[in-house]
Structures are given as C-alpha cells and as structure tokens.
C-alpha cells in the first residue's frame, strides 16, 4: 500500500493565511507521493510471507475445524515459532535480527504498521511523516498543567506505526545519554545495567562513519546501525555552534562521557538517507534468513497466557481482516513501545487489578503496568527571526528542483535536517549534580509568519521540509522530568481504541521552573557575535494565550510552556524495570515480566528513568542487551547452560 500523507483538509480553512494550507502545498505533497510514496521493501516478495495468507480458527471464536486431526496438527505446527517479537520498532527489529542469528530458531516479527515508505528515507521530509498513515497519532488526555491552548487541551504524541517504528518517523538524532543515567539504573536494583555494562551494547550496534573526529573507545564500526553526520549543513548550523562556543560551551562528542557542551549531531543516517532500525537490522537479512518471518500490517491484540500455569504461549493478532494466532515454543517478546506494550499487557490480563477488573478482563498478574510514564518535554513559542542574510526559504520551482536533485544524488539541502543538526546541553541553576545537564537545546525550522498568524494551525499542518525556514524555534528540552503520568485502557474500546495517555506534564513545579530557566539561558545566544552579525532577533509578538503577561517575563514564559506544551516524543517507563522488592516495577533486570513465564518486554517502556538524551539509541541498546539475555537462557555452551556461563548476561 502507498504512503498516505497527512490530511490537511480537516484543519485548513479556505481563507487561512497559513501558507501550508495553500494550493502550492498540495502540489508539493502530490509530487512527494508520486516520487517517494511507495516502499522499496515491497519490490521483492518475502519468501516467508506465504505463511500469512493462511489462518486457523479456534473454537474460542465459535468456529469448528473441518479437517482431520493430522491436518490440524500440521497447520498448528506451521504457526509455531521459537520466538514471537511484537513490534518492529527501535528495539523489536534488533531483537528479531539477533535471535534469528541462531539458525535453529524460528522467529516471527509482527508489526501493526506497513512497510517503510521511501518518503521516510528523506531526512528533510521528517515533518511530513507525522499525522500520516505511518503514525499512530496519539493524543494525551486534558490536564490542568499543560497543553492548555491546544484543541481540547490535548497534546499530540507521534509514534511510528510502520516497519522501523518510531525510528522511521523520528528526527534521527543519535545520543545515548549520560553515563550516570545507567549507573543510576543499576543503583535502583537493576544488576547488569551500569554504564560500564551497557556501553559494549551501544558499540555493538553501531557502524559509525565519523570516527576520524571521535574518541574510538566509545564507538564501533562493525554494527548494523549506521551513524554519521548529515552530508549538508547550511550556514545557520555553523553559526549556532559558534554562538554556543562563545557562551563557554566546548564542542564535544556527546556520545562519550561528557554531555555538557555543543555538537554537530550524529544521526542514524547512511549516505544521505535515514537509516531506521528496519533499514539497519531487518532489510539486510529479511530475504536471506529462512528462519525469520516478517509480517507487517499484523495488529497484535493480546498475548496468549495459560491462566493456570501463567505461561505465555503465543499471541493473537489481526491480519488481512482475520483474527489469527501464532504460538511460541520459547518466549513472547513485547517490543511495541512505551504506549502499546503496556496496552497489550493490560488487555492480556497483566496490569493493575482494579483497572482490569473494571473492564471485565481476567487478571493473570497484578502489576503496575502503565505507570511511571515520563517524556522529554519541550515547548513551542520561543521564535527567533532571521534576515535575508541567513534565511533558507526557496520558491516552489527551486524546491521542486531540490527534490529531483535529492532523488538522483541523495545530496543537497533535503539530505539533512536543517537547523536541527545542532545540539547543546547545559545546566540550569536548579541542577545540583556536578556533571549532568538538565536542559537540552534543539532548533526547529519555522515559518515566522505562519506561526504568529496561527501557532496551533501551524503545528497541525506542518509539512514543510526542514531545509527551508526564515525563523528558528528554540526548544529547551527537559532532560530529567520529575512529573510522572500513566496509561489506561480506553473505556469505550479497550482492545482497539487508543489508550488513554495521562501525561501529567508540568505537574511538578520544578519541571516548569527548569524550562523557564532554559528559555532564558538559550536567549543568551542573541548577545553573541555570530547572532549579532546575522541580525537574529527574538520575535516579540505575544502568543494569544499569554497576552495578559509582560512579554518575555518569567510569568509569560511559564504561560507559554503550560499553554503551548510540546514534546520530542520520547515516552518511557510504563513497564518499569526494577528489583524484586520494587513494587513499582513490571519487569526484572533481565526484562522478564514478573509472575509470568516466557514473556519479556524489550523496549523503551522498561526504562526506570529516562536518559539525558534522545531515546532511540538507548532503545537500540536495550534490544541488543535483551537479545543476549534471551540467548543466555536458551543456548548451551560447553556442557553448561548459557545462563550458568554468563550469569549476568553478556
């Protein structure tokens, strides 16, 4: 199926002054669909896919088999695998790859979304992917603390519904977090998760192509995941870096042991294209390993668990309009992400007893599934205006020319993410540690006129390539939030309806104080020589929801943060990893679901605390480490079980 772009007709109005609603935008989107709307992964038939054109009914669904017992056994055997991986995202693709390295193991990878479309490969087209056919497009529940100016008081949370998951729709930033983040995980009772023990897994996955400029102790070049800088930078990127350096930040490798500083970002990019975990870990092996079966468009509804033994033995899922089952002889692995993994667990009977009982779900195991939700919060509203000295906007003819140039060469402005290539991390006055940052800065491209004409509509219709802009949206990002939220099942339709996301952003006052301080520190860039030379100014138009406050005062920025709340889409923590005595934990240090056998969760939901940095790289690491824990359990070496040989994993 072709990629379907965002539907702007629902939010655009005939007389709107937002240019993303103009006819030229529709022409642009149609060109993108024509050139990039299909998927290279559908060009060759997967030789294993035939298995999914067949299905078996179970008596649970009011059907009877009309075949001999022998034929039935044969069909059931065809649906048996050693491992079933649910979710082909940042972790799931890694797990499916590493488990299928063992030729004797049959591995099934199920993904609710479609094949990865070619449009996702174009770095500058990242905004077009949100709210499109490959995005779950979740919305948070209204809160008195945040998203107050958004429609219905709800914030939009993008999550990838596609091969590669959110690594296919994100902005490709590769940052691992601070070493002390992982030491803190271990100190919370998670043996084996210290920085010293997770660093080899970061290195294992990585094929870093920028090694000449990096400390090689921290980087690898033999992994599946390509990591590099983008092949194109406009002058604003270089001037922002110079500005931060003038403010006293060193230019550093933020994937070493230091994060406080500025850098030209490393990204999951390969030769001018996005390199999602699907492109990195699945595409190279998909047609070469007969023991790996990959099924997109397979929407898992629940894990099959024996209620007496509490052993997971398979999954139930929809494919091609039919409810089907697949069976796991060894383990079921949930890698559906911090929103969908807890949902699947709860529908399967694993979660808070009172909540499950409310929905009539048989409780298999009473666990705090869905709690400990937190994210990297940011805001819309801190906008810097550029002059003709540094704007990168182009006319429609030049934009079309750039598209064809990229199509042919994988170079030019569309091969990068514009001003988002710069990353800086700082400490505010509220951070008490000696080495850990609490604010990260990114710089979104923005149309200044569009934003101040209608900040809400601009966000809802953002399909502009990142390469073209006349303003910079300064995004202070809260790195270590104290606020916690939770996820519940949809009371109207718990199985197929979207879960209820109670983000609770800014519930804790300290989070708001850090953001406001981060805004003020970021605006110090305006006093640096590079910014003065380019005549970059703070746009001083008050936003509608905050006009009653003095512009640029603490009260004004606090109002902006609570009214125009946003996120960089890093939800974690909803299946928390912890010690057996930690009553808030869902999985143990080997990622096994407590009280249920042969079931693990391997994705960002297991993070007890969010790392200080973008979560894609840590989630890939979790996939690598979790895969080894599985191998440790099931493989035998030298007459010993692998678990005896490697008692704490590898």
* Secondary-structure class of domain 8-38+117-161+230-264+377-567 per CATH: alpha beta
Residue 495 scores a pLDDT above 80 = yes
pLDDT average, residue stretch 453-462: 93
pLDDT score at 18: 87
| Other CB atoms within 10 Å distance of the CB of residue 353 | 12
Residue 488 scores a pLDDT above 80 = yes
Residue 310 DSSP label: T
Q: In which residue are the tokens 């006055």 written?
A: 429
The answer to whether 8-38+117-161+230-264+377-567 and 80-116+278-367+573-645 have equal CATH topology is no
Q: Which of 44-53, 285-294, 522-531, 568-577 has the lowest mean pLDDT?
A: 44-53
What pTM was estimated for this model as a whole?
Answer: 0.94
Residue 103 scores a pLDDT above 80 = yes
Q: Coil, strand, or helix at residue 48?
A: coil
pLDDT score at 11: 85
- Helices then strands, counting H and E runs in the chain, come out as 18, 27
Return d(Cα 439, Cα 456) in angstroms, integer: 24
Query: Using an 8 Å Cβ cutoff, are 104 and 635 in contact?
Result: no
163 annotated binding-site participant: no
% of residues, the chain, pLDDT over 90: 88
Based on the number of CB atoms within 10 Å of its own CB, is 287 exposed (0-12), middle (13-18) or buried (19 or more)? middle
- Tell me the pLDDT band of 60, cut-offs 50, 70 and 90: very low
Q: What H or E segment, with its residue span, contains residue 133? A: none
Instruction: Quote the Cα angle for 168-170-171, to 5°.
Output: 125
Instruction: Quote the Cα angle for 129-130-133, to 5°.
Output: 70
pLDDT score at 473: 98
Percentage helix, strand, coil for the chain under 3-state DSSP, each rounded to 5: 35, 20, 45
Residue 649 scores a pLDDT above 80 = no
188 annotated binding-site participant: no
Residue 648 scores a pLDDT above 90 = no
- Tell me the pLDDT band of 69, cut-offs 50, 70 and 90: low
Return d(Cα 462, Cα 511) in angstroms, integer: 27
Residue 34 scores a pLDDT above 60 = yes
How confident is the model over 200-256, as pLDDT tens digits? Answer: 999 999 999 987 778 889 999 999 999 999 999 999 999 999 999 999 999 999 999
How confident is the model over 622-632, as pLDDT tens digits? Answer: 999 999 999 99
- Tell me the pLDDT band of 53, cut-offs 50, 70 and 90: very low
How confident is the model over 516-569, as pLDDT tens digits? Answer: 999 999 999 999 999 999 999 999 999 999 999 999 999 999 999 999 999 999
Residue 61 scores a pLDDT above 60 = no
172 annotated binding-site participant: yes
Residue of higher predicted confidence among 21 and 644: 21
pLDDT score at 136: 98
Beta bridge partners of 110: 86, 295
Beta strands 80-86 and 107-110 are: parallel
371 annotated binding-site participant: no
- Tell me the pLDDT band of 10, cut-offs 50, 70 and 90: confident
Could you report how far apart the first and last alpha carbons of the chain are, in Å?
40
How confident is the model over 107-120, as pLDDT tens digits? Answer: 999 999 999 999 99
Residue 49 scores a pLDDT above 80 = no
- Tell me the pLDDT band of 48, cut-offs 50, 70 and 90: very low
How confident is the model over 380-437, as pLDDT tens digits? Answer: 999 999 999 999 999 999 999 999 999 999 999 999 999 999 999 999 999 999 999 9
Dihedral sign of CA atoms 473, 479, 482, 484 in order: positive
Assign 3-class secondary structure to 341-405.
HHHHHHHCCEECHHHHHHCCCCCCEECCCCCCEECCEEECCCEEECCCCCCCCCCHHHHHHHHHH
Largest pairwise CA distance in the chain: 82
Residue 638 scores a pLDDT above 50 = no
How confident is the model over 120-148, as pLDDT tens digits? Answer: 999 999 999 999 999 999 999 999 999 99
Residue 84 scores a pLDDT above 90 = yes
Q: Which residues contact 412 (CB under 8 A, 6 or more apart)?
A: 232, 402, 405, 406
Q: What H or E segment, with its residue span, contains residue 252? A: none
Q: Which of 42-56, 259-273, 630-644 has the lowest mean pLDDT?
A: 42-56
171 annotated binding-site participant: yes
Residue 52 scores a pLDDT above 70 = no
Q: Return mean pLDDT, the chain.
A: 92
pLDDT average, residue stretch 333-352: 98
How confident is the model over 497-517, as pLDDT tens digits? Answer: 999 999 999 999 999 999 999
Which residues are part of the catalytic machinery?
A: 570
Residue from 202, 150, 214 nearest 176 by CA: 202
The domain segmentation of the chain, as residue ranges, is: 8-38+117-161+230-264+377-567, 80-116+278-367+573-645
Query: Using an 8 Å Cβ cutoff, are 414 and 404 in contact?
Result: no
The DSSP secondary structure of 444-512, one letter per residue, reads EEE-HHHHHH-HHHHHHT----TT--SEEEEEEEESS----BEEE--SS-TTTSPPEEE--TT-SHHHH
pLDDT score at 580: 95
462 annotated binding-site participant: no
Residue 45 scores a pLDDT above 60 = no
Q: Coil, strand, or helix at residue 42?
A: helix
Strands (E), 87-161: 107-110, 138-139, 156-157
Residue 636 scores a pLDDT above 80 = no
* Domain covering 80-116+278-367+573-645: architecture: 3-Layer(bba) Sandwich (3.50)
């Amino acid at each position: 199926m072709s990629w379907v772009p965002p539907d702007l007709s629902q939010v655009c109005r005939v007389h709107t002054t937002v240019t993303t609603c103009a006819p030229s935008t529709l022409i642009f989107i149609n060109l993108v669909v024509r050139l990039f709307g299909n998927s290279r992964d559908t060009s060759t038939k997967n030789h294993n896919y035939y298995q999914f054109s067949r299905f078996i009914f179970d008596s649970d669904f009011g059907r009877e088999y009309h075949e001999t017992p022998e034929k039935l056994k044969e069909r059931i055997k065809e649906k048996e695998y050693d491992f079933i991986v649910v979710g082909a995202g940042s972790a799931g693709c890694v797990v499916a790859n590493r488990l299928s390295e063992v030729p004797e193991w049959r591995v099934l990878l199920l993904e609710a979304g479609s094949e990865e479309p070619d449009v996702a490969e174009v770095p500058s087209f990242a905004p077009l992917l949100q709210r499109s056919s490959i995005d779950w497009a979740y919305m948070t529940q209204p809160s008195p603390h945040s998203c107050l100016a958004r429609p219905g008081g709800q914030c939009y949370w993008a999550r990838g519904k596609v091969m590669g998951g959110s690594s296919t729709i994100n902005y490709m930033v590769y940052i691992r977090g601070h070493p002390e983040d992982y030491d803190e995980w271990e100190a919370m009772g998670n043996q084996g998760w210290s920085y010293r023990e997770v660093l080899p897994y970061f290195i294992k996955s990585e094929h870093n192509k920028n090694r000449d400029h990096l400390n090689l102790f921290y980087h690898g070049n033999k992994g599946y995941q390509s990591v590099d800088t983008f092949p194109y930078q406009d002058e604003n990127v270089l001037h922002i870096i110079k500005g931060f350096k003038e403010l006293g930040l060193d230019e550093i490798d933020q994937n070493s042991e230091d994060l406080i500083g500025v850098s030209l970002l490393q990204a999951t990019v390969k030769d001018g294209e996005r390199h999602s975990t699907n492109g990195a870990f699945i595409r190279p092996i998909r047609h070469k390993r007969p023991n790996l079966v990959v099924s997109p468009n397979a929407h898992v509804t629940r894990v099959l668990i024996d209620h007496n033994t509490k052993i997971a033995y398979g999954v139930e899922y929809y494919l091609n309009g039919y409810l089907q089952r697949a069976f796991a002889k060894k383990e079921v692995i949930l890698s559906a992400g911090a929103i969908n993994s807890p949902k699947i667990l709860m529908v399967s009977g694993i979660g808070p007893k009172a909540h499950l009982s409310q929905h009539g779900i048989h409780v298999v195991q009473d666990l705090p599934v869905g709690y400990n939700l937190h994210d990297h919060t940011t805001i819309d509203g801190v906008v810097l205006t550029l002059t003709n000295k540094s704007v990168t906007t182009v006319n429609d003819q030049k934009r079309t020319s750039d598209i064809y140039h990229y199509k042919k060469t994988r170079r030019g402005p569309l091969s990068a993410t514009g001003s988002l290539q710069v990353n800086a991390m700082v400490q505010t006055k509220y951070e008490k540690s000696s080495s850990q940052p609490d604010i990260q800065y990114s710089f979104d491209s923005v149309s200044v006129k569009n934003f101040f004409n209608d900040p809400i509509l601009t966000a809802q219709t953002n399909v502009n390539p990142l390469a073209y802009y006349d303003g910079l949206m300064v995004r202070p990002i809260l790195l270590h939030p104290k606020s916690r939220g939770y996820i519940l099942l949809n009371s109207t339709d718990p199985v197929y309806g979207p879960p209820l996301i109670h983000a609770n952003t800014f519930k804790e006052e300290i989070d708001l104080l850090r953001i406001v301080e981060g805004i003020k520190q970021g605006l110090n860039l305006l006093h640096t020589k590079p910014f003065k030379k380019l005549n970059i100014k703070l746009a001083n138009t008050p936003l509608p929801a905050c006009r009653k406050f003095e512009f640029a005062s603490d009260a004004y920025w606090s109002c902006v943060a609570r009214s125009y709340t946003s996120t960089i889409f890093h939800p974690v923590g909803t299946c928390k990893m912890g010690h057996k005595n930690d009553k808030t934990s869902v999985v143990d240090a080997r990622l096994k679901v407590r009280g249920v056998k042969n079931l693990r969760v391997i994705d960002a939901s297991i993070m007890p605390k969010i790392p200080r940095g973008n979560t894609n790289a840590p989630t890939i690491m979790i996939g690598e480490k979790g895969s080894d824990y599985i191998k440790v359990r099931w493989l035998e070496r030298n007459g010993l079980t692998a678990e005896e040989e490697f008692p704490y994993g590898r």
